[in-house]
């Protein structure tokens, strides 16, 4: 795998172009056509590209792919992949027996003129590994952190080439994931959702891939739902009232369940909480998963399986401090009321000043986030060694 990481974007594109069995379409909306451009610039693009399109105008886009409530979302990406892939065997029936078809699509929002938005995009690849073989899907969500829209376009072009090259030239799913940032860094591109599925990838558990996104530093947090399907946190929690419980869940206990249910009873009575928009989240930090620095993947999947069976959304993060989690959730929920559940001993640690020694603003800066007007803490009591009940009332004394 080392040889692949040394290849430049142009070299990767050229290798794909020279493989006459790989052939497909590119549909790019919102950030130029930088992915297709890389294949054109590499030379030999006629060996790979059947068609490129950028339906930039909303009316044109709707006429081709159908209407959507939003244009930069997974639903729009799915419609693009459906349309573009279906055209390949329909219009190129003579190539079906010896061609591995693919359709690449992205729908992207780059930085606006005022620099007030979060640049992000959905990128997908529908592809075959064998001629006339089964169809697989590869979908990611990216956040772009360059301060210049043109640089964001270039970065997106690199990610697209890496994505296509990884699927056709690599087999290890973690290497496919890591190769997405070849020629880039997490300062420029963040990948907070990764899904690779299809008959050729039935051995992959995308919940484990969500963990690996965080473990490898491609993002700070990744998420999956009760059905085990990975989710993009900003989309899943957008303007939702989130009630979150952090824990080790090894395994989930009756106490964990009681903490969630008791807190939910109180949370839904808050005047600025919409009951229909409450989302329960169980959070696992890397620290909870690997106190010794090593993550047991089977152990993680066992915990995930139980949490999913309990109907829980699971967030995997490396926000070790509660105030960082509060900042993250406040940003993606757009300031909606958030409930954070913790045991009374966890609250005790929150007030330890040594926790904030390396923070410029110290404990006061962190408390501004954790005790913000949109944050409500729900503190669960504990029993002391002397069998006395340790509650918030006795904590304050």
Q: Residue 312: CA atoms inside 13 Å, Cβ hemisphere, count?
A: 26
> Across residues 94-105, what is the average pLDDT?
98
> Across residues 54-79, what is the average pLDDT?
92
Q: How far is CA 299 from the centre of its chain?
A: 22
Contacts of 179 (CB under 8 A, 6+ apart): 4, 5, 162, 165, 166, 170
Query: Does domain 2-204 correspond to CATH entry 3.20.20.450?
Result: no
Strands 100-109 and 22-29: parallel
The per-residue pLDDT for range 318-338, each reduced to its tens digit, is: 998 898 999 999 999 999 999
Which of helix, strand or coil describes residue 269? coil
The span from the CA of 55 to the CA of 251, in Å, is 49
Residue 39: pLDDT over 90: yes
Is residue 39 within 8 Å of residue 17, measured between CB atoms? yes
Q: What is the mean pLDDT of the chain?
A: 92
The per-residue pLDDT for range 111-142, each reduced to its tens digit, is: 988 888 889 999 999 999 999 999 999 999 99
Residue 1: pLDDT over 70: no
> Across residues 230-242, what is the average pLDDT?
96
The per-residue pLDDT for range 357-395, each reduced to its tens digit, is: 677 766 766 777 778 889 999 999 998 888 888 888 887
Segment among 5-9, 15-19, 38-42, 305-309 with least mean pLDDT: 5-9
Of the pLDDT bands very low, low, confident and very high (cuts 50, 70, 90), residue 289 is confident
Which of helix, strand or coil describes residue 69? coil
Is residue 52 within 8 Å of residue 84, measured between CB atoms? no
Instruction: Write down the pLDDT at residue 4.
Output: 45
Residue 217: pLDDT over 80: yes
Residue 5: pLDDT over 60: no
- Segments making up each domain of the chain, as ranges: 2-204, 236-396
Of the pLDDT bands very low, low, confident and very high (cuts 50, 70, 90), residue 397 is low
Q: Do domains 2-204 and 236-396 have the same CATH topology?
A: no
3-state helix, strand, coil in the chain (%, to 5): 45, 25, 35
The per-residue pLDDT for range 150-172, each reduced to its tens digit, is: 999 999 999 999 999 999 999 99
Q: What percent of the chain clears pLDDT 90, i.e. is strictly above it? A: 78
CATH value of 236-396 in 2.60.120, 3.30.70, 3.40.50, 1.20.120:
3.40.50
Has this prediction a pTM greater than 0.75?
Answer: yes
């Amino acid at each position: 795998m080392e040889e692949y990481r040394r290849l430049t974007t142009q070299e990767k594109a050229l290798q794909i172009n020279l493989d006459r069995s790989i052939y497909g379409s590119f549909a790019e909306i919102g950030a130029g056509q930088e992915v297709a451009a890389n294949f054109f610039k590499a030379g030999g693009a006629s060996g790979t590209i059947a068609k490129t399109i950028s339906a930039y105008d909303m009316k044109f886009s709707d006429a081709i792919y159908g209407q959507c409530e939003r244009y930069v979302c997974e639903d729009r990406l799915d419609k693009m992949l459906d349309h573009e892939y279906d055209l390949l065997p329909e219009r190129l029936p003579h190539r079906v027996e010896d061609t591995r078809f693919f359709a690449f699509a992205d729908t992207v929002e780059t930085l606006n003129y005022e620099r007030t938005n979060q640049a992000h995009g959905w990128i997908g690849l529908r592809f075959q590994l064998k001629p006339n073989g089964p169809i697989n899907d590869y979908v990611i969500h990216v956040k772009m952190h360059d301060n210049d829209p043109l640089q964001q376009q270039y970065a997106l072009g690199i990610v697209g080439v890496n994505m296509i090259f990884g699927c056709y030239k690599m087999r290890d799913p973690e290497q496919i994931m890591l190769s997405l940032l070849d020629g880039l860094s997490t300062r420029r591109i963040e990948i907070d959702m990764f899904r690779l599925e299809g008959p050729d990838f039935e051995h992959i558990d995308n919940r484990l891939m969500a963990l690996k996104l965080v473990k490898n530093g491609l993002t700070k947090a990744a998420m999956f739902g009760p059905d085990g399907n990975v989710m993009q946190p900003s989309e899943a929690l957008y303007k939702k009232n989130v009630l979150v419980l952090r824990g080790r869940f090894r395994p989930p206990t009756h106490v964990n369940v009681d903490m969630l249910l008791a807190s939910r009873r109180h949370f839904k009575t808050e005047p600025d909480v919409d009951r229909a928009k409450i989302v329960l989240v169980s959070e696992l930090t890397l620290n909870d998963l690997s106190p010794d620095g090593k993550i047991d993947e089977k152990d993680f999947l066992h915990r995930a399986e139980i949490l999913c069976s309990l109907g829980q959304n699971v967030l995997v993060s490396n926000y070790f401090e509660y105030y960082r989690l509060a900042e993250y959730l406040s940003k993606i929920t757009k300031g909606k009321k958030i409930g954070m559940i913790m045991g009374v001993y966890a609250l005790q640690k929150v007030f330890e000043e040594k926790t904030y020694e390396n923070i410029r603003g110290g404990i006061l800066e962190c408390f501004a986030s954790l005790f913000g007007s949109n944050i409500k803490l729900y503190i669960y009591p504990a029993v002391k060694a002397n069998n006395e009940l340790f509650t918030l009332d006795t904590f304050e004394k």
